[in-house]
Amino acid sequence: MVENKIKELKIGNVILDNNIILGPMAGLTDRAFRIVCEKFNPGLVVSEMVSSKALFYGDDKTKKLLDTSGEKGKIAIQIFGSDTESMAFATKYINEQKIADIIDINMGCPAPKIVKNGDGSKLLLDIDKVYDITRAVVENSDIPVTVKIRKGWDSNNITGLDAAKAIERAGAKAITVHGRTRADYYSGEADWEIIKQIKQNVSIPVIGNGDIKSPEDAERIFEETNCDGIMISRASLGNPWIFEEIQNYFLNKPIRVIDKKEILDVILEHIDLEVQDKGENVGIKEMRKHICYYLKNMKNASEIRNTINHLDTKNEVESVLTKYFSSLENIT
């Protein structure tokens, strides 16, 4: 019998039904993908990161990232920035729109275009600024504030623990810790020891992140770190069922076999949502990367992906996928 680690998670005055969370991924965790994942009951979904400066300057394209219509579960909007003025503005704007249950601050993104402006994981080199940014958001928010960090900047600057303490002092209600430095990007193995250290040194909930690809990984990170919740990011791509699988595993329920009909139905729903939000031209282009993940390790998948990458209309893509899935034996 597996010890059940699934529980309600209290973040400030927000109570999540469970402690398994969809993590933010730029260009991936848009409204369409969040709605698809919500079918499989994550306790919280987190938006792709939103630029506080772009909101400050009234950028319409950025405002579209804040669409949470039709979402039924708890949602966090993630913002990024490195100046208190724009972060405070973005916080007030999101609060006024009443579109989220939680505001999350990105202090972990390793992308060069983010860190070159002093945003994302670059903040981990300046603990005073970590505090100031967090405090500015907390003071301007009516909803709980959380922060996502990494282990540190590089092997010479393992600042995650100091950052976590500053974040708690500043009034954040939870911390997510990715067990890699900025220099690591997504390579190598995530260091879960830093998650354990931070959990031992702060009193607010700590959510573990990094290399959680299966129910067994989820069990191991809970045991090794004593974290309060886990965040699944890349392992959910093409596999939104992972949230249900992890919960069933801990509840000692059978892991459901996802048949080809359900996989196809989910992909078609995902396409519908993407096209609805972004129009056919952009929506189909956006879906190409998702379809690549959905078809991973399936028979003749590379050939089908190559075909779809040259199609521009929803009808063409749906026709190719429907014929492809009808040709497959049941997937186990």
Residue 37 bears catalytic tag: no
Name the active-site residue from 37, 109, 227, 292: 109
Mode of pairing for the β-strands spanning 206-209 and 9-11: unpaired
Domain boundaries in the chain?
Answer: 9-250, 260-327
Element (H, E) at 175: strand 174-181
Bridge partner list, 15? 10
Determine the Cα angle at 156 with ends 25 and 149, to 5°: 25
CATH number of 9-250: 3.20.20.70
Spell out the residues 6+ positions from residue 315 whose beta carbon is closer than 8 angstroms to its own.
Answer: none
pLDDT score of 329: 66
Spell out the residues 6+ positions from residue 158 whose beta carbon is closer than 8 angstroms to its own.
Answer: 151, 152, 181, 194
CA dihedral angle for residue 74, residue 78, residue 79, residue 82, rounded to 10 degrees: 130
Which one-letter DSSP state was computed for residue 157? B
pLDDT score of 332: 45
Bridge partner list, 208? 177, 230
105: left (phi over 0), alpha (psi -120 to 50) or beta: beta
Report the C-alpha gap between 319 and 285 in whole angstroms: 16
CATH topology of domain 260-327: 1.10.1200
Mean pLDDT per 10-residue section of the chain, whose length is 332 residues? 93 98 97 98 98 97 96 97 98 98 97 96 98 98 98 97 98 98 94 98 98 98 98 98 97 91 97 97 96 94 95 96 87 48
